[in-house]
């Protein structure tokens, strides 16, 4: 294992939108910045060919946007090491942080954690094959609903996100069928009532099927139907649709951080949501891996920017780490 003796000002874990957004700001502020990325830069958004909700671009493809973000960060001196999976971090006695990858060890004054999340999968046949909005499987209604204007879609899930996204889909699709494996939703009562009210309207385009699971997503070149099974009666049907939206949760990529920072029961990194500080001084968090994240491209980039801005405050005065957000938010307090 090679140990670099060079001291970085900031090491960013993850080269997705949050990590690249952070790197642009830290490197432009002349902080020696290194991004450690386990695969190639880009993260989740590199798998999509059409983004319509990133401010400033009417439409752009994921890889194209990432190339611009990466070039911009590198033009100010940010270094990116690909194929470098971070496996552990340790806070040293002198206040610096040791970051270990499978092959190398680095030392840095600060860290921005941006390892992102993955959508939880149903794990049924056809899900991977049709995984793109173009082919019909999506995990983000906010991102992809407009591509299903006047089409028929099936949504899967029963929590807050599933209900919110289903209501959003119903503004675009001609028919939305929400399937849920139980006989009642886990979502808040307010949201559940709103959904039920909408489903009960005359000529509603919203249908709810309880006690129902999807066992396969089917089609030739794109989604044409989904195989549904009623878990109580065991009855199966082929249900026609143009798309399947899966809202069964997110899995943050934070297993390697257990014991280093605090995580929620679901694995999201705990932080103060104003300045994105974790419990470890000098370690910030940004993007989809943090508690309360909006799970959007623009907010991930925005998080990266916030963390990079706050890093300067920490370098100026390490005691700032322990200040409560509410004190700092007093007018003139920051």
CB–CB of 170/195 below 8 Å?
A: no
Q: Is 241 annotated as catalytic?
A: no
Closest CB to ligand FAD among residues 14, 219 = 14
Of residues 279-298, those binding ligand FAD (CB under 6 A): 287-288, 295-298
Q: Quickly count: other Cβ atoms within 10 Å of residue 230's Cβ.
A: 15
Give the count of residues interacting with ligand FAD (CB under 6 A).
36
CA distance linking residue 9 with residue 144, whole number of Å = 38
Contact status: 161 vs ligand FAD (CB under 6 A)? no
| Catalytic residue flag (residue 101) | no
Cβ distance to ligand FAD smaller for residue 111 or 208: 111
Q: Which of 101, 140, 271, 289 is catalytic?
A: 140
Q: Which of 101, 144, 242, 288 is catalytic?
A: 144
Which of positions 93-122 make contact with ligand FAD (CB under 6 A)?
114-117
Min separation Cβ 46 and ligand FAD, Å: 8
Of the candidates 67, 85, 98, 272, which one interacts with ligand FAD according to CB under 6 A?
85
Q: How far apart are CA 272 and CA 329, in angstroms?
A: 13
From residue 330, alpha-carbon distances to 3, 297, 321 in Å are 44, 30, 16
Tell me the β-bridge partners of 110. Answer: 10
Listed ranges 35-43, 147-155, 231-239, 320-328: which one lies at the site for ligand FAD (CB under 6 A) = 35-43
Q: How far is the CB of 178 from ligand FAD (least distance, A)?
A: 21
Question: Could you please report the per-residue DSSP string of 111-174?
Answer: EEE---EEEPP---TTTTTTBBTTTTEES-HHHHGGGGTT-EEEEE--SHHHHHHHHHHTTTSS
Site residues for ligand FAD, 194-253, by CB under 6 A, read: 253
How far are the Cα atoms of 6, 73, 83, 109 from residue 98, in angstroms, in the given order? 12, 23, 18, 9
Phi, psi torsion values for 180, nearest 5 degrees: -140, 135
Nearer to ligand FAD, 39 or 334 (CB): 39
Q: Whole-number minimum distance, CB 233 to ligand FAD, in Å?
A: 34
Query: Of 12 and 208, which CB lies nearer to ligand FAD in the complex structure?
Result: 12
Sole binder of ligand FAD in the list 24, 51, 226, 307 (CB under 6 A) = 51
- How deeply is 189 buried, as exposed, middle or buried, from its count of CB atoms within 10 A (0-12, 13-18, 19+)? exposed
Q: Which residues contact 303 (CB under 8 A, 6 or more apart)?
A: 18, 21, 22, 114, 276, 285, 286, 287, 290, 293
Pick the catalytic residue from 101, 143, 271, 289: 143
Asked if residue 48 binds ligand FAD (CB under 6 A), the reply is yes
User: Which DSSP category does 197 fall into?
Assistant: H
User: Catalytic site residues?
Assistant: 140, 143-144
Chain positions contacting ligand FAD, by CB under 6 A: 13-19, 36-39, 42-45, 47-48, 51, 53, 85-86, 114-117, 140, 143, 253, 256, 287-288, 295-298, 300
């Amino acid at each position: 294992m090679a140990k670099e003796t060079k001291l970085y000002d900031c090491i960013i874990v993850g080269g997705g939108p949050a990590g690249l957004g952070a790197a642009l700001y830290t490197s432009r502020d002349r902080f020696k910045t290194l991004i450690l990325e386990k695969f190639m830069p880009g993260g989740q958004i590199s798998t999509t060919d059409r983004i319509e909700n990133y401010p400033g671009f009417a439409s752009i493809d994921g890889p194209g946007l990432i190339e611009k973000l990466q070039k911009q960060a590198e033009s100010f001196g940010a270094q990116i090491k690909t194929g470098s999976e971070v496996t552990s971090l340790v806070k040293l006695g002198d206040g610096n942080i040791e970051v270990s990858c499978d092959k190398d060890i680095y030392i840095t004054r600060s860290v921005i954690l941006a390892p992102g999340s993955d959508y939880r999968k149903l794990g049924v046949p056809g899900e991977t094959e049709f995984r793109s909005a173009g082919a019909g499987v999506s995990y983000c209604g906010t991102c992809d609903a407009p591509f299903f204007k006047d089409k028929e879609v099936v949504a899967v899930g029963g929590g807050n996100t599933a209900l919110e996204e289903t209501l959003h889909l119903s503004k675009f699709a001609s028919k939305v069928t929400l399937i849920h494996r139980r006989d009642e939703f886990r979502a808040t009562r307010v949201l559940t009532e709103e959904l039920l009210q909408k489903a009960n309207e005359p000529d509603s385009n919203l249908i709810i099927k309880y006690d129902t699971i999807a066992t396969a997503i089917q089609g030739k070149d794109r989604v044409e139907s989904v195989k549904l099974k009623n878990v109580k009666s065991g009855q199966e049907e082929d249900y026609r649709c143009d798309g399947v939206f899966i809202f069964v949760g997110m899995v943050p990529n934070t297993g390697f951080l257990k014991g280093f920072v605090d995580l929620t029961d679901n694995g999201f990194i705990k932080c103060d949501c104003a300045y994105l500080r974790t419990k470890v001084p000098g370690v910030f968090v940004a993007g989809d891996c943090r508690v309360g994240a909006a799970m959007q491209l623009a907010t991930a980039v925005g998080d990266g920017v916030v963390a990079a801005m706050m890093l300067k405050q920490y370098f100026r005065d390490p005691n700032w780490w322990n200040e409560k957000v509410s004190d700092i938010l007093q007018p003139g307090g920051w």
